Amino acid sequence: MKIDVIGSGSAFSLTRNTSSILVTDKDDQRWLIDCGPTVPRALWQRALDVNDIDVLYFTHIHPDHCAGLPVLLNRWKSFGRRKPLIIYCQAQQRESLQQLVSLATWPVPHICFDIDWRDSQAQWQWQQWHLSTAATQHEMSNLSLRIEADGHVLFYSGDGRPTDASRALMQGCDLAFQECAVSMPLSKEASHGDVVNCLALQQSLSLPVLALSLLR
C-alpha cells in the first residue's frame, strides 16, 4: 500500500493543501480520501492520468473536505475520462455532493463517465480491500476510515475528536492520520483533536506512526 499525503492543512492554510491522502495498492488501484479546494491542483502536479483514480471517499462535507470535487470532475470531463468512478459518502450527505457534480458539468446534466454512488457502511469489502468506518466527534457527522489492504492497515480520521469507536478503528494500525487542531488540551466536548489527546492516544494504542493533520 502506497500513501501519498496530498495535504495536511486546515481549511484556511496559507501554505498547505487541505487534508487529503491518495492510497494506492499493489495493483495500482487508487482511492482519494477527501477532496478539498486545493487538492485538484496538487493532483495535477502529480501528472496522474484522468483514469488513475478509481474511488473517492468523503469523510464529511465541510467545504475543506469536498469543495474540490467539481473542479476535479471538470478536468476529468475535459480530458475525456471513460473509467467509471465510485464515490462513497454518508447517505444523508450524498445530495449535497451531487449538487457539486452538477456544477462540474452545468448546463449539461451528465458527465462522460459513470458515477456509482455508494453509501458508507460500518464495514464493507471493495476488491481486496476491507473498509470500516466510525464516527468521530465533530460539528457534522464525520466517518473516519480504516483500510486493510495488501497486508497493511491504515486509519484516516477526517475531522473530529477521537471517540471510543474511532479509537477502536485505530487498533493495530500501521499508520494513522488524526486531525488535530491545537497543542493545548481542548474540552471533552470539543469537535477537534488536540496534541495532548493525540499523543495519549498513540501511547495507549501503541501506534507505530500517528500523523497529525493540524488545523491551524
Q: Is 48 exposed, middle or buried (0-12, 13-18, 19+ CB in 10 A)?
A: middle
159 binds Zn ion (CB under 5 A): yes
Q: Which is nearer to Zn ion, 62 or 146 (CB)?
A: 62
62 binds Zn ion (CB under 5 A): yes
Q: Candidates 44-52, 61-69, 70-78, 200-208 — which segment interacts with Zn ion by CB under 5 A?
A: 61-69
Shortest CB 196 distance to Zn ion, Å: 21
Shortest CB 79 distance to Zn ion, Å: 30
Shortest CB 80 distance to Zn ion, Å: 33
| Number of chain residues interacting with Zn ion (CB under 5 A) | 2
179 binds Zn ion (CB under 5 A): no
DSSP bridge pairs for 124: 131
Q: How far apart are CA 64 and CA 36, in angstroms?
A: 4
Shortest CB 65 distance to Zn ion, Å: 6
Enter the DSSP assignment of 155.
E
Q: Candidates 42-50, 76-84, 156-164, 208-216 — which segment interacts with Zn ion by CB under 5 A?
A: 156-164
Contacts of 185-193 with CB under 8 Å at 24 or more apart are: 186/161, 189/137, 190/137, 190/161, 191/137, 191/138, 191/139, 191/159, 191/160, 191/161, 192/138, 192/159, 192/160, 192/161, 193/157, 193/160, 193/161, 193/162
Q: Candidates 17-25, 42-50, 153-161, 180-188 — which segment interacts with Zn ion by CB under 5 A?
A: 153-161
Give residues in contact with Zn ion (CB under 5 A).
62, 159
